[in-house]
Structures are given as structure tokens and as C-alpha cells.
Amino acid sequence: MHSVSEHEDPDPYFEPVITLPPLTVCSSEENEECLFKQRAQLFRFDTIEDPPEWKERGVGVLKILRNRTSGCYRLLMRRDRTYKVCANHYLLKNMYLRPNCSSSRAFVWSTTADFADEVVKPELLGVRYANSTYI
């Protein structure tokens, strides 16, 4: 058994070889105004399955943002803890948010181009809030 002598330092701290400047993380939201922000659960309608079914895409904070320069609106949602984007698309005039028939705290809409995955594709999305007081 090895014991710590008077000359050994048990502190595991080592001086860094080089020092790096602090890294500023860009979230791409710096030029946008947040109009709506609420914790929610996001689903996507998977038509590949037989029968088609709703699949959870993530739980996190759903935001509606307005670009200060262009005036365009977009919906952005990141997963809790990992901050991975699970919804990212523009809000257009031809998009309609419809209440889900099974719940007063759930809504569905479709988008022609969601940028959350590696491939941009149209999606039928659904969102559910903890209770209906947020709406």
C-alpha cells in the first residue's frame, strides 16, 4: 500500500499548457425578438409506420421568434439538457394552428420545410402544453 509522504502533493490540479480565450456560443437567436416562449412536448406524425402514428420529437422550450431585420417569423424548439433543435421552421401566412380533437392543450400544424433534421422536409407537427392556461 502506498502512502502520501510529506513531499508528495495529492492535489490533482495541473497548470494548462496553453490558455484559450472564452468561447462565445452563437445560438442564431441574437438578431431575433422572442414573442412567445413556453415549455412543451413536440410530436411529429410518422406516415412510414403502418398504421401511421404520432412519435415524440422532444420536450423543451418552444419559441416564436421575429427577425428584427427581415421581419420574418419562425418557430424554434430545442430539447431539454441537450439543446438539440427538434423544430425549426418559418411561420407562413398559409399555415394554420388547429386544436387537436383529443385535448384542449394540444395543437397541430403542417410545415412545408422543417430544418430540425439533416434533411429539410415537410412535417405534420403537434405540440402539447402542461395545461391550457398557457394558450
Architecture of domain 32-134: Roll (2.30)
- What's the pLDDT score for residue 25? 66
Check pLDDT > 70 for residue 1: no
The residues spanned by each domain of the chain are 32-134
pLDDT, tens digit (0-9, with 9 covering 90-100), for 44-93: 999 888 899 999 999 999 999 999 999 999 999 999 988 899 999 999 99
Torsion-angle region of 29 (φ positive above 0: left; ψ -120 to 50: alpha; else: beta): alpha
pLDDT, tens digit (0-9, with 9 covering 90-100), for 86-127: 999 999 999 999 998 878 899 999 999 888 878 888 999 999
pTM of the model: 0.74
Strands of the sheet with 53-67, listed across from one edge: 85-90, 73-79, 53-67, 32-46, 121-128, 106-114, 98-99
Check pLDDT > 90 for residue 29: no
Q: List the beta bridge partners of residue 38.
A: 62
